[in-house]
């Protein structure tokens, strides 16, 4: 326990970085997910192909390989960002593919009649998507989106492997100094479980408030 209290500030910084990384990438991935899901159902074949290629590529590449490519290899062609930004971009792009698929599954649950009605009153593709399809589709998949957010939280730990000092890395550093693995790693594990619990509670609350009973 002493190891935990003696290094509270390091571990606290790590926890804050993990939370920041999770929030920033969730927002980014959500926006990307909506855009890509829209591309995948657009009436334009080329846009559909681009959306499909995006999902196919980023669901089949390991996140760590993407992080390594982006952080270590892209600087050789002159593309550099601060470390935190790099990690946030890569994780958002990666999780965006999963969110796009979840959102597309949500769109599939919206009744055909809804879309037909939207067209019948003269809404364009974009309008019917914005006002009729997406609001209902998103509300149908709050639970899966919550699961992806928990996976995203766990995946932010991979940023440690390219040098971002978030919770996992902070725990590792503290352990190397104090050599009290049991306390330090259990503490970090509990912090992750607590964060996941919060995400789970928030999605549960959202689902109860927003879910549409059909």
Touching another protein, residues 67-106 (CB under 8 A): 68-69, 72-74, 76-79, 98, 101-102, 104-106
Contact between 54 and another protein per CB under 8 A: no
**Residue 212 CB, nearest approach to another protein (Å):** 16
Interaction residues for another protein, span 143-162 (CB under 8 A): 143-144, 147-148, 150-151, 153-158, 160-161
Measure the CA–CA gap between 195 and 193, rounded to whole angstroms: 5
* Selected range binding another protein among 8-16, 24-32, 49-57, 203-211, rule: CB under 8 A: 49-57
The distance of closest approach from Cβ of residue 145 to another protein in the complex, given in angstroms and rounded to an integer, is 9
Q: Using CB under 8 A, pick the residue from 179, 208, 209, 214 that binds another protein.
A: 179
Closer to another protein at the Cβ: 26 or 175?
175
The DSSP line for the chain is -HHHHHTHHHHHHHHHHHHHHHHHHHHHHHHHHHHHHHHHH-S-HHHHHHHHHHHHHHHHS-HHHHHHIIIIIGGGGT----HHHHHHHHHHHHHHHHHHHHHHHHHHHS-HHHHHHHHHTT--HHHHIIIIIHHHHHHHTHHHHHHHHHHHHHHGGGGGGGT---HHHHHHHHHHHH--HHHHHHHHHHHHHHHHHHHHHHHHHHHHHHPPP-
Q: In this structure, what token pair is assigned to residue 197?
A: 């619990």
Residue 185 sits in the site that holds another protein (CB under 8 A): yes
CB of 209 to another protein, least distance (A): 19
For residues 183 and 52, the answer to whether their CB atoms sit within 8 Å is: no
**Nearer to another protein by C-beta: 89 or 196?**
196
Q: Decide if residue 1 touches another protein (CB under 8 A).
A: no
122-141 residues in contact with another protein (CB under 8 A) are: 125, 128-129, 133, 141
Residue 88 or 150: the one with the smaller Cβ distance to another protein is: 150
Stretch of 1-9, 25-33, 65-73, 81-89 contacting another protein, by CB under 8 A: 65-73
Report the sign of the C-alpha dihedral through residues 74, 89, 31, 111, in that order. positive
- Give the separation between CA 106 and CA 133, rounded to whole angstroms: 9
The piece of 7-15, 80-88, 111-119, 206-214 that touches another protein (CB under 8 A) is 111-119
């Amino acid at each position: 326990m002493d190891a935990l209290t003696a290094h509270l500030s390091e571990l606290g910084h790590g926890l804050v970085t993990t939370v920041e990384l999770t929030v920033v990438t969730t927002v980014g991935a959500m926006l990307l997910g909506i855009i890509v899901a829209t591309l995948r159902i657009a009436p334009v074949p080329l846009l559909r192909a681009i959306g499909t290629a995006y999902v196919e590529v980023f669901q089949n590449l390991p996140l760590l390989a993407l992080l390594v490519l982006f952080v270590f290899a892209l600087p050789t062609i002159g593309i550099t960002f601060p470390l935190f930004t790099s990690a946030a971009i890569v994780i958002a792009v990666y999780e965006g593919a999963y969110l796009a698929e979840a959102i597309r599954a949500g769109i599939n649950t919206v009744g055909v009649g809804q879309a037909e009605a939207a067209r019948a009153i003269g809404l364009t593709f974009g309008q019917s998507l914005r006002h009729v399809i997406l609001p209902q589709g998103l509300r149908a998949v709050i639970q899966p989106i919550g699961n992806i957010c928990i996976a995203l939280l766990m995946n932010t730990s991979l940023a440690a492997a390219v040098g971002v000092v978030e919770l996992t890395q902070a725990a590792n550093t503290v352990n190397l100094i104090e050599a009290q693995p049991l306390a330090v790693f259990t503490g970090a594990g509990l912090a992750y479980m607590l964060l996941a619990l919060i995400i789970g509670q928030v999605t549960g609350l959202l689902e109860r408030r927003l879910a549409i009973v059909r």
